[in-house]
Amino acid sequence: MAHLFRQILDFLALGYGAQGVAAASGVLTVILIFSVIIVGTIMSGIEKIQIVILSKLFSERTALFICNYITIAGTIIHECAHALFATLSGAKVTEISFLDTKGNSLGHISYVGRGPIFMRGIQDSLCACAPVFVGLICEFIIINQIFHGTYPIWGQIILWYLAISVIDHMSMSPIDIKHYFQGIWAVVPIVFAAVFCYGYFIVT
């Protein structure tokens, strides 16, 4: 991240003072904010492509069964990520389900925002993007274990199953994206302040 920050700083050519750091911090903040949406959208696209391919090979019902029920581990991680970030940010989780029987989605959570409007904005945004962050962390750990761990064949099979399951459910639904932008106004100042402090530290 330090290298990226310096590249942005050099590209803007506003110097290494507070003004240049602030401008570079603004650009990097925008990149970080939209990177979450890009990753979530890509993962959602991969899931849809997988359903289309499986639907042509078998049937839509079979495709949804495979992508939802067979990879239920990914659903559990996805919904737990929502619940974790909601709870950590101060919201109250009122319902969590890993086995919905209606619609194309297997799980869901419901939560109630608590605190001032600023905190509720943070809760909406963090809860919405939680599966992306938790999914990336889980995927990093799993892939690292696959290629650097020493597991018997059944252990490798479980790890690959988990890797595929996490990827299949590391997405942001349209509702998630809507909630993400509903609360992003509260998150942006925090991200900008953190990036500015980090940038000012590495260039001075």
What confidence category does residue 104 fall into, taking pLDDT thresholds of 50, 70 and 90? low
143-170, pLDDT tens digit by residue?
A: 999 999 889 999 999 999 999 999 988 8
Q: For residues 2-17, give the mean pLDDT.
A: 86
Q: Which tops the pLDDT comparison, 113 or 106?
A: 113
Place of tokens 């050099």: 10
Non-local CB neighbours of 180 within 8 Å, separated by 6+ positions: 36, 37, 124, 125, 128, 129, 172
Residue 115 pLDDT exceeds 80: yes
Non-local CB neighbours of 126 within 8 Å, separated by 6+ positions: 85, 86, 88, 89, 183, 187
What confidence category does residue 67 fall into, taking pLDDT thresholds of 50, 70 and 90? confident
Q: What is the pLDDT of residue 173?
A: 84
pTM for the model: 0.86
Non-local CB neighbours of 26 within 8 Å, separated by 6+ positions: 192
